[in-house]
Amino acid sequence: MITISNLHKSFGAQQVLRGVSLEVAKGETFVILGRSGSGKSVLLKCLVGLLIPEEGSIKIADVEIVGLPHAKLDEIRKRIGYVFQHAALYDSMTVEENLAFHLERHLRLPKDERDRIIREKLSFVGMEAALHKYPAELSGGMQKRVGLARALVLTPDLVLYDEPTTGLDPITTSEIDELITRLKKQTGVTSMSITHDLQSAARTADTIAVLHEGEIVARGAFEQLQSNPHPFVQQYFSSAKVS
Ligand SMILES: Nc1ncnc2c1ncn2[C@@H]1O[C@H](COP(=O)(O)OP(=O)(O)OP(=O)(O)O)[C@@H](O)[C@H]1O
Ligand SMILES: [Mg+2]
């Protein structure tokens, strides 16, 4: 579903991605772990064409994203749900309007069909009751759920999560992780999630890749990474141990 090869992205003299390569299979939940500032969000933004890498290739369902003209990029973006690091809802719109806005940007639908989709997605994340609320009236965890519902309105083949649980309490975190897992089970969607939360990674990931100093230094299932000899991976996993 995703093939990234030798991706380089710099800002001025700062090299953020220094040759990232990875593959995500269809139906897989792929999690990228890395420290704050390691370039996780930059990587996701490259995937949807919000940032343009200097070098390398990104293929989504065999379509090269790098250098793709805007109109074609928009076609691809329709099939990708993006859950932003900060829920990024429009403050002046209700929950319903936030979802409707995103849906109507890409798809013309009769009103009853549109309403049906919005209710279905909100119900999936357990937020139907918030239909007429404004984002400011919701807690952070509720906003994240609405952000996820919005990412799902076009029934994407691929969902990208930018730190879906950061800043949430452990119970809300596990509820969001459960949603990610349920979505995969019910729809077979492919997803890429970036996080610095090891426990979330353990709960949701089929495969984990560790991003460090602009490169993927290790990849594998959670149990495999626990015994990975790379010093940074060791440090990362041991720093999160509760003892
Ligand atoms: N548009 C930009 N212009 C200049 N520098 C940027 C830009 N976007 C990101 N950076 C820099 O790239 C580096 C990686 O940023 P990024 O947002 O990808 O980190 P991250 O891994 O997502 O961190 P966090 O876990 O805190 O969200 C940072 O040093 C950041 O300052
Ligand atoms: Mg980030």
Q: Is residue 199 domain-resident? A: yes
Closest atom of ligand 1 to 38 CA is 21
The ligand 1 atom at the shortest distance from the C-alpha of residue 211 is: 21
Report residue 243's pLDDT band, with 50, 70 and 90 as the boundaries. Answer: very low
- Phi first, then psi, for residue 64 (nearest 5°) are -75, 125
pLDDT of 154 higher than 90: yes
pLDDT tens for each residue of 175-197:
999 999 999 999 999 999 999 88
Residue 103, pLDDT > 70, answer: yes
CA quadruple 169, 182, 228, 220: dihedral sign: negative
- Whether 153 is in a domain gets the answer yes
The parent domain of residue 96 ranges over 28-52+69-239
For residue 104, what is the domain's CATH number? 3.40.50.300
Report the number of distinct structural domains present in the chain.
1
How do residues 18-63 score in pLDDT, each as one tens digit? Answer: 999 999 999 999 999 999 889 999 999 999 999 999 999 999 999 9
**Ligand 1 atom 16, closest CA:** 39
Provide CB contacts within 8 A for 57, sequence distance 6+: 3, 4, 5, 6, 7, 64, 66
pLDDT at 228: 94
Residue 126 above 70 pLDDT? yes
pTM across the whole model: 0.91
CB 28 within 8 A of CB 190: yes
8 assigned to some structural domain = no
User: What is the residue-averaged pLDDT of the chain?
Assistant: 93
Give the mean pLDDT of 228-233.
94
> CA 120 to CA 125: how far, in whole Å?
9
pLDDT average, residue stretch 102-114: 91
What type of residue is 3? T
Q: Does residue 132 sit within a domain?
A: yes
Burial class (CB in 10 A: 0-12, 13-18, 19+), 159: buried
Report the C-alpha dihedral over residues 144, 149, 151, 157, rounded to 10 degrees. 130
Say if 205 falls within a structural domain: yes
Q: How far, in Å, from the CA of 38 to the mean position of ligand 1? A: 7
